[in-house]
């Protein structure tokens, strides 16, 4: 463990996989994260059973991958540790199904804290409640493991009924390859609220809105749709890769002086103090449960707003231009193969 950071950070030497010895792990769901966790655990010598409903289309994939599959309830009944990797919206119903067969001393584990933090799932006090959350899509968690590499992850303990929940969670993190890269200790509250805020204000909401606004500004000013796409969306990956590899400093050092001066003198005019104020409003809605209540109600109503917004997003002009341009790129076929791999493992059961 290193104490150089505000939150503790753990590596392979800090984790003891013997905490999973003689234990059966049930992985509920075989989507993006589920398939990666189950296969990595099995390759690490852990006894794994996958829990899927009888009608799940993923059952054949589980068997083809050489793993055992049962219903969620039966898998949980056999297991000492139950890793719940179905979508957030499905988890409460799944927990209701498995709760009667979980025993004192078992571990209930998640990869996101939403339902525990917002009280949609209230586990019995005699079970451990932990979180092991790789900070990467599942197909990369699996690929990195197969390449003897690691995927950074998070570890949290919300309820320690046995006194060794932290060790059990850390052993699980090692078995799926996260401690190879480093595991940061956090809490369910911190993970949930920062994750939701990051998605909404920056990663998924803020960035896509900025890209579309930039695209529309250029097109409305008479520039070609193709040039607008290249400048506002396609080149974004190049910039993000630089930031990922070496932070903002690496990015500024790598772009031209003209780009650096333009960015430093104009960026805050686009994302200004008013944007910061709206970010603080979004964070407050996450913290006080406003967003959670809205999302829960939206699902109960059949997702009408979600479907309308999703349809509009998919039909934005930038999508049509991008599809045509990407078909011309040299890496088009490789990207298509990658997308098929991700799609196969995206829909959690």
Residues classed as catalytic:
112
Q: For residue 98, give every residue at least 6 positions away whose Cβ sits within 8 Å of its Cβ, in sequence order, or none.
A: 28, 51, 72, 73, 76, 77, 82
CA 85/CA 72 separation, integer angstroms: 11
Give bridge partners of residue 48 from the DSSP assignment: 25
Give bridge partners of residue 108 from the DSSP assignment: 82, 129
What Å distances lie between residue 27 and 7, 37, 100, 160, CA to CA?
28, 8, 17, 20
Q: Residue 31's closest CA among 53, 3, 2? A: 53
CA 308/CA 318 separation, integer angstroms: 18
Q: For residue 340, give every residue at least 6 positions away whose Cβ sits within 8 Å of its Cβ, in sequence order, or none.
A: none
CA 137/CA 134 separation, integer angstroms: 8
Report yes or no: 183 and 170 within 8 Å, Cβ to Cβ.
yes
Neighbours of 111 (CB within 10 A): 21
CA 110/CA 132 separation, integer angstroms: 6
Give bridge partners of residue 129 from the DSSP assignment: 108, 159
Report yes or no: 151 and 140 within 8 Å, Cβ to Cβ.
yes
Report yes or no: 75 and 48 within 8 Å, Cβ to Cβ.
no
Using only C-alpha atoms, the chain has a radius of gyration, in whole angstroms, of 22
Q: Residue 178's closest CA among 160, 202, 193, 156? A: 156
């Amino acid at each position: 463990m290193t104490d150089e950071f505000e939150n503790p950070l753990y590596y392979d030497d800090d984790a003891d996989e013997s905490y999973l010895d003689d234990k059966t792990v049930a992985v509920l769901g075989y989507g993006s994260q589920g398939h990666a966790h189950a296969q990595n655990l099995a390759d690490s010598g852990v006894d794994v059973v996958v829990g899927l409903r009888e009608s799940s289309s993923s059952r054949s994939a589980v068997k083809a991958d050489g793993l055992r599959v049962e219903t969620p309830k039966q898998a949980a009944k056999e297991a000492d540790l139950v890793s719940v990797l179905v979508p957030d919206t499905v988890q409460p119903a799944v927990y209701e199904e498995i709760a009667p067969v979980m025993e004192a001393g078992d571990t209930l584990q998640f990869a996101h804290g939403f339902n525990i933090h917002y009280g949609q799932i209230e586990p019995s006090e005699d079970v451990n409640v932990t979180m092991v959350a790789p900070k990467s899509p599942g197909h990369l968690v699996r690929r990195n493991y197969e390449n003897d590499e690691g995927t950074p992850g998070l570890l949290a303990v919300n309820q320690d009924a046995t006194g060794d929940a932290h060790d059990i969670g850390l052993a699980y993190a090692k078995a799926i390859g996260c401690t190879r890269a480093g595991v940061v200790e956090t809490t369910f509250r911190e993970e949930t609220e920062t994750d939701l805020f990051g998605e909404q204000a920056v990663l998924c909401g803020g960035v896509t809105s900025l890209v579309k606004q930039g695209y529309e500004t250029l097109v409305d000013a008479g520039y070609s749709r193709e040039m607008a796409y290249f400048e506002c969306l396609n080149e974004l990956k190049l910039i993000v890769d630089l930031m990922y590899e070496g932070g903002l400093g690496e990015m500024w050092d790598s772009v031209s002086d003209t780009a650096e001066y333009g960015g430093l003198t104009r960026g805050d005019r686009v994302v200004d103090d008013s944007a910061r104020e709206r970010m603080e409003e979004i964070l407050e809605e996450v913290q006080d449960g406003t967003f959670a209540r809205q999302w829960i109600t939206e699902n109960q109503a059949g997702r009408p707003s979600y479907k309308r917004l999703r349809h509009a997003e998919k039909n934005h002009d930038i999508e049509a231009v991008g599809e045509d341009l990407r078909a011309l790129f040299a890496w088009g076929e490789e990207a298509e193969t990658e997308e098929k791999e991700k799609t196969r493992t995206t829909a959690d059961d």
